[in-house]
Structure 1
Amino acid sequence: MIKTREFTFADGLTHGLVGPNGIGKTTLLRKIAGQIQSGGITVFGEEPFDKQSVLNRVILMGIDNPLPDSWGIGKLGVIGKARWSRWDEERFNELLVRFDVPAKAYSALSRGQKSAVGFIFAVASGCEVMLLDEPYLGLDTQRRELFYQVLREEHGRTIVVSTHHLNEVAGLLDTVSLMGDNPISGPIDDFIEGILELTGPSEALTAAVTELDLRVLSRETTGLGDRVLIDARSTAADPIFRTAQDYGLRVTEVSLERAVLALEEKA
């Protein structure tokens, strides 16, 4: 289990880590990986910084964690085998073929190929915890779909993915953690089922929202009436649907990405 001041990442689940640019997602991942000293974070019940018992079980890969430029693909396999006791050579070679990674030095690879190699390295390491910092950058559509497929195959490991593409990865996530002044974390169903859109005439919407006494995340006017996003995570659904019916309003769930963006803007 990973515990920070704001979040708890339970074992065996895939967690999405989101937040605006510059909020510190990469820094948090580096702290969890033991690369930066920081109080208030434990991994497997221990402070991770410079703790070999933790470092042997955690790997961080992503745009800000490149591999040495001079290393070729073959050397990566040799280094991985020497470094990680649970290194899976067969899986490493299999994924190199599936992602069609050429046998070149790391420096000669494209941005997308470097992303693929970092992800492959993390998977093959056998580490119980994989920290992936925007691991899909530069991948074309075909390889991005392959990335999600492989991530699905690895379900059961503890995975934390920093992402700006929630809609693409939503089907793989168990939880979402939103960084900000007012951090929010929970199962994805809490976000999808708890952030609702009410649509209807302006006066009816205003009356219904007042009666429900729920936080309004956004409101906009369209040619067909007004639309309001409400935060109903702490409220039972039945009263909301009854009130909406009384006022002739339509209630719909929104996408995970839209729900999180609305909460982010209100944070």
Structure 2
Amino acid sequence: MKIEVKNVSKSYRHKEALKNISFTIEGPKIIGFLGHNGAGKTTFLNLLSGLISTTKGNISVNGENVFNVPLTLRDICFVAENENFQEEMTIAQTLKANSFFYPKWDGELAMELLEVFALNPKDKVRSLSKGMMSALGIITGFASNAGITIFDEPYIGLDVAARNTFYDLLIEQQTDNPRLFILSTHLIDEASKLFEEILILHEGQLMLQKTVEEWHENIVAVKGNPSDVEQAISGLKIIYKHTFMQELTAIVFTDGQSIEGQNIMLEPVSLQDMLVYLSKQQKERAIK
């Protein structure tokens, strides 16, 4: 599967949610799609799923536009954070309805996962707790067998054991039935080991797209006296800079270059660290 995003913007009445973003994703692969609340993640996922149209630009899957093209949309399963299912239907009716929409639906897998998550197929959706609703969404995503399967905060209300079950199932599914999984989550420390590629949206723009290998090899925090750090990172792509207590922290993309200098420290940058830095940057802008 190949997703191509070309110069996409999405505006609402008082806000530009996405600002001229362009990128390409190819699978099978597990993608970490990250960013703070308001970064534009859910807006983009709704666009990719054909639920809303772009203001400008185009999104295509294997060369076909995603908006208003039923054949393309049948190979995209979007499990949103909420409001995935009709409240008056039972779990069994919900899964049956989904089986009509997704041509590669795996009914046997759906039944197995009902037992894994201890869901009663006779229960109505309206009676389910948040955790049970999340479990039903997870079951739908895996059983859909859609070439592009999207999970947006898929485990709200689930305990640690159930979340670990989801991670195990994700790895198992990617081994047995490879596809393009897109996972958007705030539980980054838990999920980061699953990702093969990472995209970070920040304030409606694509800030970063790197494979996990590129991340570990090329993204580093440089800390120290401001003048020494500035000299050491000269010519490098700067992702973020912050000064605190006369110490400058700069997150940079080295592109394979070595960083040398006196009175500086080099530290690895985790995904969680990156989002913390971006949050600080956002607050600093708001204060100014």
TM-score, normalised relative to structure 2 = 0.79
Task: Give the direction of change, closer, same or farther, for the CA distance of 1:189–1:259 in structure 2 (3 Å limit).
Answer: farther
**CA-CA distance at 1:131 after TM superposition:** 1.4
Aligned residues: 255
Partner of residue 28, structure 1: 44
Task: Write out aligned runs for 1:161-176 (5 A).
Answer: 161-176=183-198
- The structure 1 residue matched to 2:181, chosen from 138, 159, 167, is 159
| Partner SS for 1:40 | strand
Which structure: greater strand fraction? 2
Partner of residue 249, structure 2: 228
1:3 aligns with 2:4: yes
Task: Give the direction of change, closer, same or farther, for the CA distance of 1:211–1:49 in structure 2 (3 Å limit).
Answer: closer
Partner of residue 140, structure 2: 121
Which range moves more in the overlay, 136-145 or 19-28? Answer: 19-28
- State the alpha-carbon separation in 2 of the partners of residues 65 and 128 from structure 1: 22
Task: Give the direction of change, closer, same or farther, for the CA distance of 1:59–1:81 in structure 2 (3 Å limit).
Answer: same
Q: 2:153·2:186 contact (CA, 8 Å) conserved in 1?
A: yes
Q: 2:241·2:248 contact (CA, 8 Å) conserved in 1?
A: no
Task: Write out aligned runs for 1:97-108 (5 A).
Answer: 97-103=115-121, 104-108=123-127
Structure 1 portions without partners, runs of 5+: none
Q: 1:7·1:177 contact (CA, 8 Å) conserved in 2?
A: no
Partner of residue 131, structure 1: 150
**CA-CA distance at 1:189 after TM superposition:** 3.2
Which range moves more in the overlay, 183-192 or 92-101? Answer: 183-192
Task: Give the direction of change, closer, same or farther, for the CA distance of 1:14–1:65 in structure 2 (3 Å limit).
Answer: farther
Partner of residue 60, structure 2: 42
| Partner SS for 1:68 | coil
Q: 2:228·2:263 contact (CA, 8 Å) conserved in 1?
A: no
- State the alpha-carbon separation in 2 of the partners of residues 125 and 170 from structure 1: 24
Q: 1:61·1:122 contact (CA, 8 Å) conserved in 2?
A: yes
Q: 1:191·1:260 contact (CA, 8 Å) conserved in 2?
A: no
Structure 2 portions without partners, runs of 5+: 7-21, 283-288
Q: Deviations over 1:110-146 (max 9, x none)?
A: 0011011011111101111101111111111110111
Task: Give the direction of change, closer, same or farther, for the CA distance of 1:192–1:266 in structure 2 (3 Å limit).
Answer: farther
Task: Give the direction of change, closer, same or farther, for the CA distance of 1:248–1:133 in structure 2 (3 Å limit).
Answer: same
Q: 1:2·1:44 contact (CA, 8 Å) conserved in 2?
A: yes
**CA-CA distance at 1:64 after TM superposition:** 3.6
Q: Which amino acid aligns with 1:231?
A: V
Task: Give the direction of change, closer, same or farther, for the CA distance of 1:75–1:68 in structure 2 (3 Å limit).
Answer: same
| Partner SS for 1:121 | helix
- State the alpha-carbon separation in 2 of the partners of residues 27 and 199 from structure 1: 35
**CA-CA distance at 1:51 after TM superposition:** 0.7
**CA-CA distance at 1:199 after TM superposition:** 5.0
**CA-CA distance at 1:191 after TM superposition:** 3.2
Task: Write out aligned runs for 1:214-225 (5 A).
Answer: 214=236, 215=238, 217-221=241-245
Q: How much is the aligned-residue C-alpha RMSD, in angstroms? A: 2.4
Q: Percent identity?
A: 26
TM-score, normalised relative to structure 1 = 0.85
Task: Give the direction of change, closer, same or farther, for the CA distance of 1:140–1:27 in structure 2 (3 Å limit).
Answer: same
Q: Which amino acid aligns with 1:148?
A: Y
Which structure: greater helix fraction? 1
- State the alpha-carbon separation in 2 of the partners of residues 250 and 211 from structure 1: 10
